Structure 1
Amino acid sequence: MTDRWPDPDPGPIIRPYTVTRGRTRPAGEGFDLIATVAAIRPAPPDLPPEHLRLLGACRRPITVAEAASRTGLPVGVVRVLLGDLRNAGLLTVHTPPTTIAAPRENLLRDVLSGLRAL
């Protein structure tokens, strides 16, 4: 038996719950995957590395899903870290509207009639 690690380049070995200190939800309101986040202030030097990486990815407005993709962090971790950054006043969040206007009944009837005609 050898004591060598089986993979020569295992990547990061830090577990997600370690990065978030065991938290699974962001402080305050949650983040929708399509919410847009953007850094509004420079990062203080004492931020943990994952927060710095995430804030760097948010220099320009991006969605939460895109922030997770760019940083390589799981979406759940990104949401928790974004909550920290929001509470520290380092980024802004724009949530898309949740209400969508329902189509008019006449339009639905016309579509249904067109489908029946096929």
Structure 2
Amino acid sequence: MSVLDTGEHWFDDAAGRLIRPYTISNGRTEPTTRMELLSMVIATGRQPHGQLGPEHAQALRLCGSVTTVAEVAARLRLPAVVTKILLSDLVDWGVVDTHAPDPMADLTDLTVLETILNALERRI
């Protein structure tokens, strides 16, 4: 079993992330901003006040172009609720905007379902 340094996170080949998700969210279990998995997030271009932690900084980089909460969670390899907490922190700090998915969107649209499936497969 080898431990790999992937830059900002520590992973174990067999166990995955060595830092527990509750540590990343500071024990919080609820985001301050309501978001769905298909909510769109994008960086505002504003600079954060103070220095961001590694997970917040990585999430902010992923929001450089419009993306979904599900995509950010998949790329961070974190549970959706932890990702929502990180993103809601970024929203509270004014560095990320979020928009609810269009209520009229056809959730049976094959493109939407393929996007979700691809994000989930990358998470595995």
> Is the aligned partner of 1:48 residue 2:53?
yes
Q: CA deviation at 1:71?
A: 1.7
- Correspondence list, 1:1-118, <5 A: 7-9=1-3, 10=12, 11-28=16-33, 30-44=34-48, 46-98=51-103
SS of the residue corresponding to residue 37 of structure 1 reads strand
Partners of 2:64 and 2:104 in 1: CA distance: 28
* Unaligned ranges ≥5, structure 1: 1-6, 101-118
Structure 1 or 2: more strand by fraction: 2
**TM-score normalized by structure 2?**
0.68
Partners of 1:95 and 1:51 in 2: CA distance: 21
Identical aligned pairs, as a percentage?
A: 39
Of residues 91-100 and 67-76 in structure 1, the stretch that sits farther from structure 2 once superposed is 91-100
* Unaligned ranges ≥5, structure 2: 4-11, 106-124
Per-residue CA distance 1:49-107 (angstroms, 9 max, x = gap)? 0000000001000000011111222211100011100000001111123357xxxxxxx
Whether the 8 Å CA contact 2:46–2:94 is kept in 1: the answer is no
Partners of 2:57 and 2:65 in 1: CA distance: 14
